[in-house]
């Protein structure tokens, strides 16, 4: 069972990666970064400025600190120095760039339907890379220019000799403009689709007027050039097309070369097996989504193969850095000296942004795109791919036939799972990692249902801005039935029990003496009966009373029939904030409950619990551990934000806040114990 719990936690860590992305989206959209000057700001100042709730402001700000976007000193929040230029107003501000990924997250939640052909990705999303839409996104342009300078520096000897250059798909005009700067005697023709030249027409107006820069409307897959060129460039274009169209583009490009012309293709690096680097494997999924399942990022070797199939002479596959590859080839009729194919590694010059700035941008992008991991996993789950790989594995073709998606879609998805360790690849066969295998051996239907709840939660987190601004819960009312039982109880409790198994065992190990001495135990908010049943199993003389709201009690009636029939378990329908207990209890438990409520209601619940204690009774409160700063551990900061989004009032209190409430209610003998790394047990003795 421990192995199963560990597997569950591993999988949950993957399916919740959207939380980092959506918190960043909300901060950008709400204007949080604009509200924090270099001197810092308090949660109250930010909430007042943005007209959002103070609690919502605090939990979001703390979560942003936990993922290192903000810093906190006392009650003041500051923007982390490294990202400051990217998120404040100015030429380098990248907030609009980051919000592109919010739309992508929304679309990726529909991945199964898109890959099965039941629906299409929105046209604006599909055309982002085809037209000039990226011209207004500063950070993306900066990164693209940085890589462009790297590529151009490698090609400078060729550029200095080239009279005529063709840039296929280069409608933005940056490469063309720089080539004209490098070689004043050259001319450049850009070929792109109609609508792809808007930025170029503005930025390169002078060169267009002089005739050195020509704009040619045409589809790279079928356009035949009358002219011949000394250099033909294809930069980050091939990934938008299936293999046969990649081949058409390369074939026509080579036919447009002069007898000693050079073909230069730049692309994101991808290993022969399609699984590394991780960025590229995930990027391939993105291309799949942007082309409704047609395009994908080809491996470096695949480009080389296509060049040879087209009769070209491959010169080199050069690794520009960890992310980019430059592939060089000659024309069909090249008669020059033979050159050995080579792989060359070059350093990455920093031209437009310095090293720290560029690394900060990469860290921002990694947060903004972390939702991709959860979206891919959930799509694979919904498509039913995992059972296809158990127990002996399967090829992409076999998976494709079983689940009803294209072979290339199956391959790209499986390769992406390999990069995060969920799937293994050996000789074209994909097999499951141990974690998934162990879950498959359980009630797999319950596993799928429980994990698919995170797709709903991802959608909820995408609506974070509306929730923050509305000051209203996304649920109909604040009660335990609406919080915990908006899904079938079997599904909800499957995940709860797997997540809490080890913590529950450790907790009862620490309070075993109290349990063994008790004759009457009260379990507040314990409707599932998990903790109460453990008490009854430990102490055969004890009686347990559970109080919860009506829907939760109905769940308990189904799950705890055995204990109810024995007469040792009593169920009470009631609200823990207002219920007056007639009896007193030796042991009162409050487990994972307080976070659903605001401070006032937390105090009411604890007051009722203490009133129900016998003279020498013990109150135990188990909860996610949270430091006084509200930031650590990061998982607890995330959980606090999750609870707020579900309730609009609730939040995870720090351990110190719970102790403070207990002390104000008259508690003195209070002890805070650790339950693993993420949980705390607060014990108060009369």
The DSSP annotation for 367-410 comes to: HHTTHHHHHHHHHHHHHT-GGGGTTT-B-HHHHHHHHTS-HHHH
- pTM value is 0.91
Helices (H), 211-348: 243-255, 278-290, 300-309
Amino acid 555: pLDDT: 87
Is 138-273+294-352's fold the same as 480-685's? yes
Cβ burial, residue 37 (10 Å; 0-12/13-18/19+): exposed
Amino acid 482: pLDDT: 39
Alpha carbon distance, N-terminus to C-terminus of the chain: 36
Lowest mean pLDDT of 135-139, 305-309, 680-684, name the range: 135-139
Residue 91 banded pLDDT, cuts 50, 70, 90: low
- Cβ atoms of 283 and 308 within 8 Å: the answer is no
Output the DSSP codes for 5-44: HHHHHHHHHHHTTHHHHHHHHHHHHHTTGGG--TT-EEHH
Lowest mean pLDDT of 21-35, 115-129, 138-152, 449-463, name the range: 138-152
State the Cα–Cα distance between residues 258 and 231, nearest whole angstrom. Answer: 8
Question: pLDDT tens-digit profile of 508-536?
Answer: 999 999 999 999 999 999 988 999 999 99
Residue ranges per structural domain of the chain: 138-273+294-352, 480-685
Lowest mean pLDDT of 80-84, 218-222, 275-279, 631-635, name the range: 80-84
In 3-state terms, what secondary structure has residue 183? Answer: coil
**Residue 39, C-beta contacts closer than 8 angstroms, at least 6 positions apart:** none
The answer, yes or no, to whether residue 143 has pLDDT greater than 90, is no
State the Cα–Cα distance between residues 544 and 116, nearest whole angstrom. Answer: 52
Amino acid 135: pLDDT: 55
Question: pLDDT tens-digit profile of 628-643?
Answer: 999 999 999 999 999 9
**91-112 mean pLDDT:** 90
User: What percent of the chain shows pLDDT beyond 90?
Assistant: 75
- Cβ atoms of 139 and 91 within 8 Å: the answer is no
**325-346 mean pLDDT:** 64
- Cβ atoms of 582 and 511 within 8 Å: the answer is no
**58-83 mean pLDDT:** 96
Give me the chain's average pLDDT, please: 90
> What is the topology classification, in CATH, of domain 480-685?
Rossmann fold (3.40.50)
Q: Place domain 138-273+294-352 in its CATH homologous superfamily.
A: Vaccinia Virus protein VP39 (3.40.50.150)
Amino acid 96: pLDDT: 86
């Amino acid at each position: 069972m421990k192995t199963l719990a560990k597997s569950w936690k591993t999988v949950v860590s993957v399916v919740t990666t959207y939380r980092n992305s959506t918190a960043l989206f909300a901060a950008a959209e709400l204007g949080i970064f604009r509200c924090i000057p270099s001197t810092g700001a308090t949660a109250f100042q930010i909430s007042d400025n943005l007209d959002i709730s103070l609690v919502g402001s605090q939990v979001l700000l703390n979560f942003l600190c936990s993922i290192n976007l903000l810093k906190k000193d006392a009650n003041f929040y500051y923007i982390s120095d490294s990202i400051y230029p990217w998120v404040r107003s100015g030429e380098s501000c990248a907030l609009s760039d980051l919000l592109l990924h919010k739309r992508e997250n929304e679309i990726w939640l529909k991945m199964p339907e898109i890959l099965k052909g039941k629906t299409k990705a929105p046209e604006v999303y599909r055309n982002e890379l085809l037209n000039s839409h990226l011209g207004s996104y500063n950070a993306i342009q900066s990164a693209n220019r940085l890589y462009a300078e790297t590529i151009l520096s490698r090609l400078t000897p060729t550029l200095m000799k080239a009279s005529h250059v063709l840039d296929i798909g280069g409608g933005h005009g940056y490469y063309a403009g720089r080539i004209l700067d490098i070689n004043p005697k050259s001319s450049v023709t850009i070929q792109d689709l109609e609508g792809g030249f808007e930025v170029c027409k503005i930025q390169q107006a002078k060169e267009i007027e002089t005739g050195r820069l020509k704009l040619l409307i045409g589809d790279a897959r079928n356009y035949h050039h009358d002219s011949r060129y000394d250099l033909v460039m294809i930069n980050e274009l091939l990934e938008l097309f299936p293999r046969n169209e990649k081949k058409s583009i390369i074939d026509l490009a080579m036919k447009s070369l002069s007898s000693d012309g050079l073909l230069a293709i730049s692309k994101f690096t991808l290993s022969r097996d399609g699984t590394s680097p991780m960025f590229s494997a995930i990027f391939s999924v993105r291309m799949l989504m942007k082309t409704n399942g047609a395009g994908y990022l080809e491996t470096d070797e695949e480009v080389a193969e296509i060049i040879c199939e087209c009769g070209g002479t491959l010169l080199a596959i050069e690794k520009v850095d960890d992310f980019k590859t430059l592939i060089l080839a000659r024309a069909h009729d090249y008669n020059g000296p033979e050159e050995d194919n080579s792989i060359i590694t070059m350093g990455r010059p920093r031209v437009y942004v310095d090293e720290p700035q560029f690394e900060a941008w990469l860290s921002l992008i990694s947060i903004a795109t972390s939702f991709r991991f959860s979206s891919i996993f959930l799509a694979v789950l919904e498509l039913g791919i995992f059972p296809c790989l158990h127990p002996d594995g399967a090829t992409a073709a076999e998976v494709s036939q079983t689940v009803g998606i294209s072979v290339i879609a199956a391959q790209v998805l499986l390769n992406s799972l390999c990069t995060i360790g969920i799937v293994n690849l050996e000789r074209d066969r994909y097999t499951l990692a141990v974690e998934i295998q162990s879950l498959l051996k359980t009630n797999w239907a319950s596993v799928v249902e429980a994990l698919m709840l995170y797709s709903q939660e991802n959608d909820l987190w995408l609506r974070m801005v509306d929730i923050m601004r509305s000051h209203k819960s996304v649920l109909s009312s604040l009660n335990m039935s609406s919080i915990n039982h908006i899904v079938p109880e079997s599904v909800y409790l499957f995940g709860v029990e797997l997540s809490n198994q080890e913590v529950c065992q450790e907790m009862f190990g620490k309070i075993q003496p109290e349990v063994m001495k008790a004759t009457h135990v009260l379990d507040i908010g314990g409707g599932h009966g998990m903790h109460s049943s453990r008490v009854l199993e430990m102490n055969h003389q004890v009686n347990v009373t559970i109080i919860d709201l009506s829907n939760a009690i109905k769940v308990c009636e189904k799950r705890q029939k055995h204990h109810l029939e024995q007469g040792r378990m009593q169920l009470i329908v009631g609200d823990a904030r207002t219920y007056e207990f007639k009896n007193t209890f030796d042991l009162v438990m409050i487990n994972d409950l307080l976070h659903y409520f605001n401070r006032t209601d937390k105090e009411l619940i604890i007051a009722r619990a203490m009133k129900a204690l016998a003279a020498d009774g013990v109150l135990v409160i188990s909860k996610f551990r949270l430091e006084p700063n509200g930031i650590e551990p990061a998982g607890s900061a995330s959980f606090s934000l999750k609870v707020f989004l579900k309730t609009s009032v609730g939040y995870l209190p720090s351990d110190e806040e719970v102790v403070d409430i207990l002390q104000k209610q008259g508690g003195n003998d209070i002890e805070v114990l650790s339950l693993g790394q993420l949980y705390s047990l607060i014990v108060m003795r009369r």
